[in-house]
Amino acid sequence: MAILHGEYFLELIIIFILGLTSGSPLIKVFNLEDMELKESVILNGFSGILDDGQTGSKCDIGNSSCGFHDMKKLVLCEEELKGIGSLNTTCQLNTSLQFDNDVLITGEGNLEILSHVSVGCPFAGCLISINISGDLLLAEYASLLAGTLIVRAGNLFLQNNSFLKTTALGGAPPPQTSGTPLGVDGAGGGHGGRGACCIKSDGKDPEDTWGGDAYAWSTLTKPWSHGSRGGTTSREGEFGGGGGGRVKIIARSILNVNGSISADGGDGGLKGGGGSGGSIIIRVPKLKGTGTVSARGGKGWAGGGGGRIAISSYSREESLNIFVHGGESHGCTSNAGAAGTIFDSVLQSLIVSNNNLSTLTDTILLDFPTHPLWTNVFVKSCAKAVVPLFWSRVQVRGQFSLLYGGTLSFGLSHYPFSEFELMAEELLMSDSMIKVYGALRMSVKMLLMWNSEMQIDGGGDAMVGTSLLEASNLVVLREKSSIYSNANLGVHGQGLLKLSGSGDTIKAQRLILSLFYNINVGPGSVLQAPLEDAAKGDLAPRLNCESPSCPEELIHPPEDCSVNTSLSFTLQICRVEDITVDGLIQGSVIHVHRARTVAVNAGGLITASRLGCKGGVGKGHVENAGAGGGGGHGGQGGDGYLNGVSSRGGEVYGIADLPCELGSGSGNSTSEGTTAGGGIIVMGSMEHSLSSLNIFGYVRVDGESNHQAAGNQSATNMGGSGGGSGGSLLLFLHSLTLGNNSLVSSAGGHGGHVGGGGGGGGRIHFDWSNIPTGDEYAPLANVKGTIYTRGGMGSDGGHDGKDGTVTGKECPEGLYGIFCEECPIGTYKDTNGSDISLCQPCPPEEIPHRGTYISVRGGVTQPSCPYVCLSEKYHMPYCYTPLEELMHTFGGPWLFGLLLSGLLVLLALVLSVARMKIIGTDEFSGPVPPPHESQIDHSFPFLESLNEVMESTRTEESETHVHRMYFMGPNTFGEPWHLPHSPPHRIDSIVYEDAFNRFVDEINSLAAYQWWEGSVHSILAVLAYPFAWSWQQWRRRKKVQQLRDFVRSEYDHACLRSCRSRALYEGLKSVPATMWYRFIAGLNAYLRTVHRGCLRITLLPVINWLGTHANPWLSLHGIRVDLAWFQATTSGYYQLGLIVNETNEVAQPTSLPNMGGTMTIEELSNHQTVQWQGGQQYTAWSRRRIGGGIGGGIINLYTLPSLEDRKDFSFPIYLILRNARPVGHEDLVGLIISILLLGDFSLVLLTLLQFYSISLAAFLLVLFVLPLALLSPFPAGINALFSHVPRRSAGLARVYALWNVTSLANVVTALIYGCYYYQIQSSSRGPQNLHAWNFSTEESGWWLFPTTLLICKCIQARFVDRHIANLEVQDRTLYSNDPAKFWDS
């Protein structure tokens, strides 16, 4: 009878009918994986054939071998299940149940298994199938137990501590599998992973020993196999744990697991191995909870392997724990069972995780699907996976990750002759390892390694192919990650290869890195080929030690960058844009090909030291005495010496300009204690040079040093081996930078103790490509570090090795040296070559003395070396100053001076002719006495005119004139004239004091100057003193005129103006007017030469003249005249005047020494009296009161030495600017002044030009230290020379003289500045190379123009004084030495 349920009625009828037509009642139960769950239809009472849907095998339904026991009727909720409710609504199970055969539970409602209720069929392979439309709930501590559990529900909820369990209840594994181990080793059972085995077989590695084998790889995406039983340790019984069962869960919505779902293998204890985990299939849209899903291997003497889990869920919480790890092994705790597999059907990802249990047992990874490809593979948590099949390909679309101690092995350790492929988007390794036995072809986009290892064992067989690791985007090794191969290894990519830090290494016997954009070798990281034990094994690279020639592939390497074992390279970096080295790159023959830049930073090292030949072409010899000679290469090896026996060092070999030979050692390769020479480093090639090489660390190819003693075969004497010679460093490059403390070395090794000779230095060559010349030149190298090719030191009598060679490519014209630098300044090179001797000195006669050679970009290639002047003030091409250029334009300084002098004389003649034409000469033709009405210029030291004495027509009586008052003060803007307020005692009784004070106040107020007049004078005195002098004279005249107008218009001025004149007139009525006028003219002529600072000297001629010319003739009329001073003020100012005495005797001067006007002050001190005719003597007066109460004193030959004369800072000016006697020859004087004036102006211009050549500041300082002073004398002189009126000409000439004297300040400034500039500043520049003839150059004769100008101005001043005298004193007889001639005129 068939029990039909729900929707399956029609379908089952059809199947049944088909069965009847075949003659037997055959029932088809559809595949368990079908989402329609047709397996829920169970037939009872029929016999037939069941297809299990997995293996395709058929069996009798009633046979227990099919996994079913005798089936009973369909169970009901309240009857068989003893629950409450109905399966079509809600059925609650509150009583624990145990079935003894397969059970089917079906319905359209809900099923709830309440707390602490257990429902199970605890027999191996027993099936419980639940098919309900509603929800299945397992409350806390509820359980559902069977060998096979199949659950279909709307939702499935497992609360805390509830579980679905098939642990150790698995049925028989698939046939033809070896999941259960044989023998009594107590090994674990296998399924998803192999079972562990704690007994090591003889001759096998631990990795080759395992228990039960893995199976069901092909169905891991839909696993439905029972786990295997563990092995036993005794033949007396089966003590191994049972295999895990099977669980299939299909929910339409949610599976919430807070309990556990397990298909674990059973524990075997100490007498048996653990069973392997079973199979779990979960298909649900949402998978939630914090519980556990596991198919673990059981614990035992040896742990069982993990099972297999497949999950299909679009939403899964990370908090859910899924375990497939192997069981723990009591007999070998470090070797748990191998991990099983977890397959995510949605993500198409495989996970192999051993839950951090260490194991030596493998999880087998067989063929990977190709249609479709899996997305990701994760081997993690100490899982150990192996790809055992030869020529296998592991390919996924996404990541292949090895994490947390995961290990992936390719091939078998005892058969490392196969090749494997690994293809993925990314290979991520963290704390994990990949082992390859054979060769690996890897192709990924990114390879990221964190504290991980990749070991490739080629087995020492040269027939094994080269391993190629290709990562198109990124290769990063961090935290002591390493890639190791004892065979050939190629690492290719198109992005970045980065070894991040200490412990990160890539090592191989032969290593090729190619096609990366950038390679970064971080601090402490290593790129190395060959390995340290490179001499062992068939795959060790062969070094060409016996050939002195350069391998062709080092100079012209192949372009394909493939790993070619026939080539000489041990480590090649090919077609890489930028290489940065902070760590170590080490190899015997290192070649960098088709790279752009290489940077060796501080702490970085590229080395082939001690990796050259032991022996070789230049090997050092070893004599019986035991001391070895050093190897030779670029320099000869040092001889070894011991006990009087010398061992010859190795010979020099190789080509210095293209070195690519290995260094040689001492002895031969088979001797004990031998040393090796340096290896080879080649960067770039003839066709492809490095763009730049920047070294701030070290690049070394040094020979090996030996510090151990070596003995000969008889061991009678002990001697040290010689040092190895340096290797070869060949650099093809565009530019080089050697930073501070950097080192490029090919040094020989030191000889060993005792008597070993030092190794010879190696060879270093810089082969510059496309050396720029001319304007395109740029320095090829910036060298601040050290380049070292010294020979090694011998020990204890052994000789030192000779130094090696450092060479560069032959330099073009203008460049020299290893680095093709520009020839030193002042040299040129017109041939090719690098020797500095080819840079020849430039001809010294082709450069001016003020020129200096300059650097020319690309060097100087011709003898005519370029130069510039020492300063911008000098002009090319002869480096002359503007002044010198002017002089040399006219033939040099001498000819220029002659031409200038001639020109000045010619112009002066022209000016003189023009002056005579314009002015005429009749104005100066003869002596013309001044008219009586002429006004005397009070700016000169004249006495007030006495001419008016003889002209008085007043009728006033002299008795009415009681007293005469004098103005006090120098009449300056600071101290103007003034009258005292107290009236003289002589007039006290006849004046009203207040009226007198008002009169004095008005007079003093009128005599005072306005403040602005003094301000203008002060400003002009600073800016232009001649203007200040002219301003003062003008204001004085205006002031005198104002005083005269005031007195004449306001007061009866008879007593103020004419009392003296009337008094004198009364006393001089006996003197003819003409004689008096002549006397006054002669006296003023002599007084005009008196000046401050030299009063005693300049008054002496006046006193002598009075004694020789005036008094002898005036005495005939009863008159004697004495010179006197009057009214001295506190400021030291006093007035000069005359005292006229009446005498009744006629006196004639006696003969006195030097009375002709030539007696000096010193001679006067020896004469105390002067005798006149009649025997009268006059005693010398130093001071006396002059009649009338006026303070003053007589000035004569005896009082003159005691006359006070105060000097001030302007005293030197009076030596130049002073009145002189007329000399006549007006035309000649005018011509000389014209010449001096033109010369002055020319020298001024030349001086300004000279100082302009120094600097603009010097030019402005000299020109404007007194503004307008330097250039004004010329227009002032021209104006004075061409003035018509003599008196006006004299005034203009005085202005001209003042401008001339004022300009001396500018000239002195020029001398002071020039002294400072040329004597102090020029001393810091050292001696200059001056031509002897060039006396006017600034360095030696700068003072000529200012000094000449100073002298010219002084001479000019004296001639101007003569010119002024000619203009002001037109009567030359006034200075006649003959008194008769004077009076006759």
pLDDT in tens, 237-293: 888 999 999 999 999 999 999 999 999 999 998 889 999 999 999 999 999 999 999
pLDDT tens-digit series, residues 738-758? 999 999 999 999 998 888 899
| Model confidence at 586: pLDDT above 80 | yes
Q: Each residue of 333-351: pLDDT tens digit?
A: 999 999 999 999 999 999 9
CA distance 277 to 195: 10
The pLDDT, as a whole number, for residue 204 is 67
Q: Helix, strand, coil shares of the chain as percentages rounded to 5? A: 25, 25, 50
Q: What is the pLDDT of residues 1107-1146, one digit of tens each?
A: 888 888 888 888 888 888 876 555 556 677 788 887 765 5
Identify the three-state secondary structure at position 620: strand
pLDDT for the residue 539? 61
pLDDT band per the 50, 70, 90 thresholds, residue 191? very high
Split at pLDDT 50, 70, 90, the class of 537 is: low
Q: What confidence category does residue 1245 fall into, taking pLDDT thresholds of 50, 70 and 90?
A: confident
Residue 41 has pLDDT above 70, yes or no: no
Q: Is the pLDDT of residue 296 over 80?
A: yes
Res 190 pLDDT > 60 = yes
How confident is the model at residue 1061, as a pLDDT?
52
Q: What is the pLDDT of residue 45?
A: 30
Average pLDDT, stretch 1342-1365?
A: 86
The verdict on whether omega for the bond into residue 1275 sits within 30 degrees of 0, i.e. cis, is no
Q: Give the mean pLDDT of 19-28.
A: 34
pLDDT band at residue 1275 under the 50/70/90 scheme: confident
Mean per-residue pLDDT, 17-32: 34
| Mean pLDDT along residues 41-68 | 35
Beta bridge partners of 646: 641
- Helix H or strand E encompassing 385: strand 384-387
**Mean pLDDT estimate for the chain:** 80
Mean pLDDT along residues 1019-1032: 79
Question: Contact 491/507 with Cβ under 8 angstroms?
Answer: no
- Encoded tokens for 914: 């023009």
- 891-895, 916-920, 1159-1163, 1332-1336, range with greatest mean pLDDT: 891-895
pLDDT attached to residue 755: 84
Instruction: Give yes or no for a contact between 627 and 640, defined as CB atoms under 8 angstroms apart.
Output: yes
Helices (H), 1178-1315: 1211-1216, 1226-1254, 1256-1264, 1273-1281, 1286-1302, 1304-1315
Tell me the DSSP string of 1019-1051.
Answer: HHHHH-HHHHHHHHHHHHHHHHHHHHHHHHHHS
Q: Is the pLDDT of residue 702 over 90?
A: yes
H or E stretch at 422: strand 418-423
Asked whether the predicted pLDDT for residue 678 surpasses 50, the reply is yes
Task: Tell me the whole-structure pTM to 2 decimals.
Answer: 0.68
pLDDT at 379: 95
Answer whether residue 160 shows pLDDT above 50: yes
- Start-to-end Cα distance in the chain: 190
Lowest mean pLDDT among 37-46, 126-135, 462-471, 668-677: 37-46
Which range is least confidently modeled, 62-71, 627-636, 644-653, 965-974? Answer: 62-71
pLDDT (0 to 100) of residue 219: 92
Coil, strand, or helix at residue 419? strand
Q: Given this model, what pLDDT does residue 134 score?
A: 94
281 three-class SS = strand
Query: How far apart are the C-alpha atoms of 448 and 614, rounded to whole Å?
Result: 39
8-state DSSP, 611: -
pLDDT confidence of 203, banded at 50, 70, 90? low
Amino acid symbol at 312: S
Residue 87, amino acid: L
**For the residues 1217-1235, what does the mean pLDDT come to?**
82
Query: What pLDDT score was predicted for residue 922?
Result: 43
The highest-confidence range among 4-18, 634-648, 1133-1147, 1159-1173, by mean pLDDT, is 634-648
Q: Say what the pLDDT of residue 714 is.
A: 40
Sequence-ordered strand ranges (E) for 813-924: 815-816, 821-822, 827-828, 840-841, 851-853, 867-869
* Of the candidate ranges 145-149, 707-711, 876-880, 1237-1241, the one whose mean pLDDT is the lowest: 707-711
Indicate if the pLDDT at residue 170 is higher than 80: yes
134/408 Cα distance (integer angstroms): 45
E-assigned strand segments in 1074-1129: 1119-1126
C-beta atoms surrounding 775 within 10 Å: 8
Per-residue confidence at 1167, pLDDT binned at 50, 70, 90?
Answer: very low
1166's tokens: 């020896």
pLDDT tens, position by position, 376-402: 999 999 999 999 887 788 999 999 999
981 pLDDT tier (thresholds 50, 70, 90)? confident
pLDDT for position 931: 44
Query: Which residue(s) pair with 478 in the sheet?
Result: 450
What pLDDT, on the 0 to 100 scale, is given for residue 745? 95
What is the mean predicted confidence (pLDDT) over 719-731?
A: 90
Q: Which pLDDT belongs to residue 739?
A: 92
Residue 449 has pLDDT above 80, yes or no: yes
Give the position of tokens 């103006």. 1057
Average pLDDT over residues 1197-1212: 75
β-bridge pairing 399-403 and 426-430 = parallel
The residues with which 402 forms a beta bridge, in sequence order, are 379, 429
Cα separation, 737 vs 742, in Å, equals 10
Cα gap 1385→1374, rounded to integer Å:
8
Q: What average pLDDT does this structure show over 1227-1245?
A: 86
Mean pLDDT of the 86-107 span: 92
DSSP string, 1181-1195: -SSEEETTTEEEEEE
CB under 8 Å to 1188, separation ≥6 — which residues? Answer: 963
Does 7 or 1026 have the greater pLDDT score? Answer: 1026
Q: Residue 463 region, left (φ>0) first, then alpha (ψ -120 to 50), else beta?
A: alpha
Percent share of the chain, pLDDT over 90: 37
**Can you tell me the distance from the alpha carbon of 427 to that of 395, in angstroms, rounded to the nearest whole number?**
11
Specify the higher pLDDT residue, 1219 or 800.
800
What SS3 state is found at 403?
Answer: strand
629 within 8 A of 607, measured Cβ to Cβ = no
The highest-confidence range among 62-76, 820-834, 1224-1238, by mean pLDDT, is 820-834
Residue 450 bridge partners (DSSP): 430, 478
Question: 1281-1324 pLDDT, tens per residue?
Answer: 877 666 677 888 888 888 888 888 888 888 888 888 877 665 65
Which of 69-78, 688-697, 1117-1126 shows the lowest per-residue confidence on average (mean pLDDT)?
69-78
Confidence of residue 1154 (pLDDT cuts 50, 70, 90): very low
Angle between helix axes 1304-1315 and 1286-1302 (nearest 10 degrees) is 20
